[in-house]
């Protein structure tokens, strides 16, 4: 059974991503496109007898862009333009997202249509939460940007209610598909996903410069680090707990970490030592790695949560794969026409952000400066 109780929470989470983006003026280095009223009224998709303009689907465009925001930000970190990147198989990321935009719009239409035919309704509780979320989005937008996107309270509520119906129907269809743990567990050996909850004390032998690059400490500092870890290890061996031995010393680190076989999250030497321990056991010696020294203690060497999460994800993935066949069959019952030329006239990469002109950014900076001065005077 797939849990649907947090449906609106998931939709809200997606919307909150967009809300955060609205406040990040100028994050994307592309020049902002102006979406005129005429462009908003341009027809971009027709499904059976229903025609959609860009304005009708602007919310879908926002969601499509926001889904890849972290990837875009990663490219920007290295001075690269994600949207103009050419793929190995040809074409640019612009084309990929345009395709995703149409696919998403069609999917929502089909799922919503099937939901309505099956008698689905948006619950009063969902409507209330949708109303509040739509308002929170608009509260973060300038009047200028509201006009540019065509976003209003009624518009956002209607789009979110469409998604709510589509989501409900989709989740119910997945729920009807029977996939058991035994159907997928052979691909996921328990020992490969078993977690080892490990406590540790760490004394570093490296430091980081302003750009985050690792640099080795001097021989003298490394010798002092070794002396410190040996002293701490002696205390632990005599019965002092790792936490008490740590004693809030800011020059070292104490904590717990889940370790998984073949996981590269921790140094290989750390993982190898941890996996050899019984519950409550402290590793026989200080563990030396490229970044420092560790004292390791096993708290629980058989945490099943990671494995269970992996199996549940695999079950859901299998259900989604099976439903995809059903969806493709269902899609053949709909006749749709895409006006790609209309979408290609727009520059993707500008619709999940509220861009500001340089003069507006300067005004914001001056306003913030005035507020700071007022606080100082008070």
Predicted confidence (pLDDT) per residue in 213-240, tens digit: 899 999 999 999 999 999 999 999 999 9
Segment 325-350 mean pLDDT:
84
**Lowest-confidence range among 83-92, 206-215, 296-305?**
83-92
Instruction: Write the CA distances from 218 to 52, 207, 227, 230, 252, integer angstroms.
Output: 65, 10, 14, 18, 17
Q: Confidence class of residue 377 from pLDDT cuts 50, 70 and 90?
A: very low
Percent of the chain with pLDDT over 70: 79
- pLDDT tens, residue by residue, 37-91: 667 888 999 999 999 998 999 998 877 777 776 777 777 777 777 767 766 666 6
Buried b (16+ CB within 10 A) or exposed e, 272-295: ebbbebeeeeebeebbebeebbbb
CA 22 to centroid of chain Cα atoms: 17
Q: Answer for the pair 109, 322: CB distance below 8 angstroms, yes or no.
A: no
Which of 238, 269, 303 finishes a domain? 303
Segment 202-217 mean pLDDT:
90
pLDDT score of 49 = 93
Question: In terms of domains, do 227 and 363 share one?
Answer: no
Residue 190 domain-assigned?
A: no
Residue 332 has pLDDT above 80, yes or no: yes
CA 181 to centroid of chain Cα atoms: 26
Q: Number of helices (H) and strands (E) in the chain: give both, helices first.
A: 16, 9
Is the overall model pTM greater than 0.85, yes or no?
Answer: no
Residue 304: helix, strand or coil by DSSP? coil
Pairing of strands 287-289, 336-338: unpaired
- pLDDT tens, residue by residue, 244-269: 999 999 999 999 999 999 888 899 99
Question: In terms of domains, do 84 and 133 share one?
Answer: yes
- CATH at residue 253: 3.10.50.40
Q: Answer for the pair 61, 347: CB distance below 8 angstroms, yes or no.
A: no
Question: In terms of domains, do 214 and 165 share one?
Answer: no
Percent of the chain with pLDDT over 90: 59
Question: In terms of domains, do 70 and 127 share one?
Answer: yes
Which of 279, 303, 327 finishes a domain? 303
Tokens 């997606």 sit on residue = 14
d(CA 219, CA 210): 21
Q: Cβ contacts of residue 76 below 8 Å, gap of 6+?
A: 27, 28, 29, 82
């Amino acid at each position: 059974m797939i849990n649907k109780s947090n449906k609106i929470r998931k939709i809200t989470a997606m919307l909150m991503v967009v809300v955060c983006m609205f406040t990040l003026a100028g994050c994307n280095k592309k020049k902002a496109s102006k979406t005129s009223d005429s462009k908003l009224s341009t027809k971009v998709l027709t499904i059976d007898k229903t025609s959609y303009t860009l304005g009708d689907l602007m919310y879908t465009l926002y969601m499509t862009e926001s889904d890849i925001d972290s990837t875009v930000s990663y490219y920007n970190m290295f001075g690269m333009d994600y949207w103009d990147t050419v793929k190995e198989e040809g074409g640019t990321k612009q084309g990929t997202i345009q395709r995703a935009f149409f696919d998403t719009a069609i999917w929502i239409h089909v799922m919503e249509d099937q939901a309505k035919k099956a008698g689905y309704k948006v619950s009063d509780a969902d409507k209330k939460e949708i109303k509040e979320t739509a308002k929170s989005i608009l509260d973060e937008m300038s009047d200028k940007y509201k006009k540019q996107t065509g976003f209003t309270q009624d518009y956002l509520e209607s789009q979110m209610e469409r998604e709510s119906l589509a989501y409900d129907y989709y989740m119910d269809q997945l729920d009807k598909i029977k996939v058991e743990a035994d159907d997928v567990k052979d691909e996921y050996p328990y020992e490969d996903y078993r977690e080892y909850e490990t406590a540790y004390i760490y004394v570093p032998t490296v430091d980081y410069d302003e750009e985050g690059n690792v640099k080795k400490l001097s021989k003298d500092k490394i010798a002092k680090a070794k002396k410190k870890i040996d002293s701490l290890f002696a205390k632990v061996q005599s019965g002092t707990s790792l936490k008490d031995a740590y004693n809030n010393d800011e020059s070292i680190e104490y904590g717990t970490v889940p370790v998984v076989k073949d996981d590269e999250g921790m140094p290989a030497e750390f993982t190898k030592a941890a996996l050899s321990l019984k519950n409550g056991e402290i590793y026989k010696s200080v563990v030396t790695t490229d970044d420092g020294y560790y004292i390791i203690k096993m708290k629980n060497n058989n945490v099943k949560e990671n494995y269970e999460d992996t199996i549940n994800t695999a079950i859901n993935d299998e259900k989604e794969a099976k439903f995809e066949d059903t969806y493709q069959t269902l899609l053949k019952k709909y006749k749709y026409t895409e006006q790609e030329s209309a979408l290609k006239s727009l520059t993707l990469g500008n619709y999940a952000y509220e861009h500001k002109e340089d003069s507006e950014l300067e005004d914001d900076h001056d306003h913030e400066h005035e507020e700071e001065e007022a606080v100082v005077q008070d």
